[in-house]
Amino acid sequence: MLQSAGTTASSQPHTDIAFQRCINPACAAVYEARSVHTSCERCGDLVDIDYEWDRGAVPKSLDEFEAMWSRRYEPMRFSGVWRFHELLPFCRPDEIVTVGEGQTLLQQSDAVGKFVGLDAGRLHLQYEGMNPSGSFKDNGMCAAFTHACMMEAKRAACASTGNTSASLALYCSATQKMKAVIFIGSGKISYGKLSQALDYGALTVQIAGDFDDAMIRVKQISEQLGIYLVNSVNPFRLEGQKTIMFRILEALRWEVPDWIVVPGGNLGNSSAFGKAFAELKQLGLIDRMPRLAVINAAGADTLYELYERRGVRWNGGHVDMEPIRSYNDHMDREGIKADTIASAIEINRPVNLKKCLRALDTMDGVVRQVSDQEILDAKAQVGAGGFGCEPASAASVAGTRLLRREGVIAPSDRVVCVLTGHELKDPTATVAYHTTDQEVFNDVLASRGVQKASHANRAIAVPNELDDIVKAIQLYS
C-alpha cells in the first residue's frame, strides 16, 4: 500500500496546514495530508481535506485573486485551479502538477435562457468541456495527481464512465510521471472518451459489467496492488473541483448567483461545490450561499429517489442509512441497472452520496430527474445557442427548465448551469438526434424512449449539380 507517516487514525493534532478528516462526526478521525485514504480506516466513511486556515495565506477578499492573472507566465498561476492555491493549500507550490487546466468560460446565453424560461441576462453556462481533456475532471485530476506525486505513486487507477479515465490518461501521458490503469464497463463508454484513453496510452481494462461494477473492482484492485486511486472517493479530487465555483464567482465579478445547477452522477462535483461555498462563507469571503440543484437522469436517479422521495438528509452528519440500504437491496433484488443516453452519469450507486447530502444541506438544495428526451432537447438548445456539450451536461439545462416550470426557480433568478463535458465527447448521440436516418435514430435513441427530435437540424441531401445546390441553399436559408 501507498502509505506514509500519519496514516493511522488519530484524534491527535496533525503537523501541516492541511489534514484529512473523516466526515462522520461520531468518528472524526484525523490523518496527515501526506497519506492515502479513500475511506476512513476507523469507521469506513468518506474523508475530507480540512485546513487550519489561519496558518495559511488566505486573501482578505476574493478580488485579490485577480492579481494572480498578471503572473500567468508562471504555470501555477496560469492554471485555473492553482491560481486559487491559497484555497486548497495541501501541497507546496513546487509540488504542483499542472497541464494548463481550468481555462474555462462562463457564457451568458439568452437563447438557452429563453428556452428554459429565464429573463434575458439571467442564464449563464459554465463550459468545463474547454479543459485539456475535454471535461471538468481535469480540475480534480490535477489535484489528485499532485497528491499522487507527493506520495511517489508509480501507477494510478480509476473506474470511469469515460471522462475520469480520459483525464487520468492525459495527466499520465502529458507528464510521464506514472502509468494509468483504467476500468470501464463493457460497451458503456462513448467513443470520444474511449479513444482518448487508448491514444494517451492508458492500460484499459474493459469489465463485463457497468460503472458500478467497475467501481467495486477498482477499489479492490488498487488496495491489493497498492495502486493510487483517483476516483472522487479520493478527497483531493474534490479540492480541485472546488475551483469551478471560484471561477464562476470571478466571472460574475465575485457576485454570488442564485442557483448552481449541475448534473449528478458519482456526486463529486456537487459535494465539492458545497464544500467550496461552505469554506468561502467560513472565511468571510462571501456573505450568502447560492442554492444548489443536482439533476439526475431518470434512468440513473438514486439521489433523486433517496433525497426527494425517501427524505434522506445529512442531518448534521447522522445520515439515516436504513433507507439507503433498503433502496440498494431493492435495486439488487430487482436487477435494476442504470440506463441513460447520458452515459457519463449512468451510475446507480454514487460513491459521494453522503458528501452530496451535506452540500444539499449547506446550499438549501433540491434534486430533480429528467428524461433522456428532455436531456437531448436541452443539449440541442445548448448547441444552437452556445458552444455545445455532451448529453450528461445538458441535464443541468433540462433540470433548470423543469425547476422554472415548477416555479422553484424564478424568471429573474441568476442561474449558472455547469456544462461538464465537451460536445465532441459523444458524437454518436448528437448525430443520432439530428439524423434523417430512421434506423440510426431508432437504434441509438428510440431504444431509450426518445420519441422525437423537435430541435433537430437535419442535413439536406442534394445532387452534385450547381443549380440544385443553389436552389437548396435559397430554399433553406
To ligand F0G, the closest distance from the beta carbon of 261 in angstroms equals 12
- Which residue lies nearer to ligand F0G by CB, 381 or 393? 393
CB atoms within 10 A of CB 76: 16
To ligand F0G, the closest distance from the beta carbon of 227 in angstroms equals 17
To ligand F0G, the closest distance from the beta carbon of 186 in angstroms equals 15
What's the CA gap between 232 and 62, in Å, rounded?
A: 27
To ligand F0G, the closest distance from the beta carbon of 73 in angstroms equals 31
Task: Give 102: exposed, middle or buried? Use CB within 10 Å, 0-12, 13-18, 19+.
Answer: buried
266 touches ligand F0G (CB under 6 A): yes
To ligand F0G, the closest distance from the beta carbon of 183 in angstroms equals 10
Amino acid, single-letter form, for residue 186: S
Strand duo 291-297 + 259-263: pairing:
parallel
344 touches ligand F0G (CB under 6 A): yes
- Which residue lies nearer to ligand F0G by CB, 65 or 277? 277
Stretch that binds ligand F0G, among 35-43, 72-80, 175-183, 388-396 (CB under 6 A): 388-396
Among 146, 222, 393, 400, binds ligand F0G (CB under 6 A): 393
- Which residue lies nearer to ligand F0G by CB, 257 or 268? 268
- Which residue lies nearer to ligand F0G by CB, 9 or 125? 125
- Grid cell locating 288: 450568502
Determine the size of the site formed for ligand F0G (CB under 6 A): 21
96 touches ligand F0G (CB under 6 A): no
263 touches ligand F0G (CB under 6 A): yes
Stretch that binds ligand F0G, among 27-35, 113-121, 260-268, 274-282 (CB under 6 A): 260-268
CB atoms within 10 A of CB 84: 25
What's the CA gap between 28 and 313, in Å, rounded?
A: 19
Closest CA to 223 of 211, 212, 215: 215
Among 98, 163, 190, 340, binds ligand F0G (CB under 6 A): 163
Among 38, 133, 139, 161, binds ligand F0G (CB under 6 A): 161
Amino acid, single-letter form, for residue 476: Y
Among 185, 265, 274, 299, binds ligand F0G (CB under 6 A): 265
Among 164, 222, 234, 362, binds ligand F0G (CB under 6 A): 164
369 touches ligand F0G (CB under 6 A): no
- Residues 319, 320, 325: CA angle, nearest 5 degrees: 115
Binding mask 409-448 for ligand F0G (x = CB under 6 A): -----------xx---------------------------
6 touches ligand F0G (CB under 6 A): no
Stretch that binds ligand F0G, among 4-12, 161-169, 242-250, 449-457 (CB under 6 A): 161-169
268 touches ligand F0G (CB under 6 A): yes
Closest CA to 248 of 107, 402, 366, 106: 106
Judged by the rule CB under 6 A, the positions of this chain that interact with ligand F0G are 135, 137, 160-164, 263-269, 344-345, 390, 392-393, 420-421
